[in-house]
Amino acid sequence: DADVTQTPRNRITKTGKRIMLECSQTKGHDRMYWYRQDPGLGLRLIYYSFDVKDINKGEISDGYSVSRQAQAKFSLSLESAIPNQTALYFCATSDPGTAGNTIYFGEGSWLTVV
Amino acid sequence: DQQVKQNSPSLSVQEGRISILNCDYTNSMFDYFLWYKKYPAEGPTFLISISSIKDKNEDGRFTVFLNKSAKHLSLHIVPSQPGDSAVYFCAAKFQGAQKLVFGQGTRLTINP
């Protein structure tokens, strides 16, 4: 089983709909992240959380919100989806004790907004 | 403003030869650099890292070189194998921060 699990793995939704991507981890890490990958732009940070009471905006937080329900759970919401939010989304965790804050990624969630 | 840049979107190398993937950065406050590898339908996985106080780190077939004066790092894979075909992301961490900044990625294809 994957240490970082994302659901759903694939979703097609309509413009204006609310969509939630969920993430759970079994690594016991306090730090969790949401990234999105777009062709030619690499991985960009949307939001991150260093513990249950901590939420921080990343590079591209507009149009997104997050909830850290527990140490192991971090969900990403698109309140009103738009087509340019079509992308591959990754949840990730990290252990600050590792060199360079090594990040461990989930398998990704493909989201298509039509 | 892209602080970590991988200027080659793709690279094709013959099996058994050396693959060299390049990464440039603009901010001298980065204190750690990492390489991630990504196969289709999977999340990126950590490959190798280097501290800014070093200029080389080696792990098996993979070696990362850091040239701080040029703000440039490279990943060498020797010898290249078909299983190395993937997208490679360079990433950097700011001193005192816990976030990573990623490059755009380079798609490496190893030809038999």
Whole-angstrom CA distances from B50 to A22, A27, A54, A74, B59 are: 32, 23, 29, 29, 11
3-class DSSP assignment, residue A88: strand
Contact B32 A31 (CB under 8 A): no
Beta bridge partners of A75: A67
Low-confidence ranges of chain A (pLDDT < 70): 1-2, 99-100
Chain B residues in contact with A4 (beta carbon < 8 A): 43
Angle at the Cα of B47 from the Cα atoms of B46 and B51, rounded to 5 degrees: 95
Closest CA to A12 of A89, A83, A113: A113
Q: Say what the pLDDT of residue B48 is.
A: 95
3-class DSSP assignment, residue B84: helix
Taking the Cβ of residue A31 and every Cβ of chain B, the question of whether any pair is shorter than 8 Å is answered with: yes
Q: Say what the pLDDT of residue A100 is.
A: 67
Chain A residue closest in CA terms to B50:
A100
pLDDT in tens, B69-97: 999 999 999 999 999 999 999 999 987 77
Contact B93 A4 (CB under 8 A): no
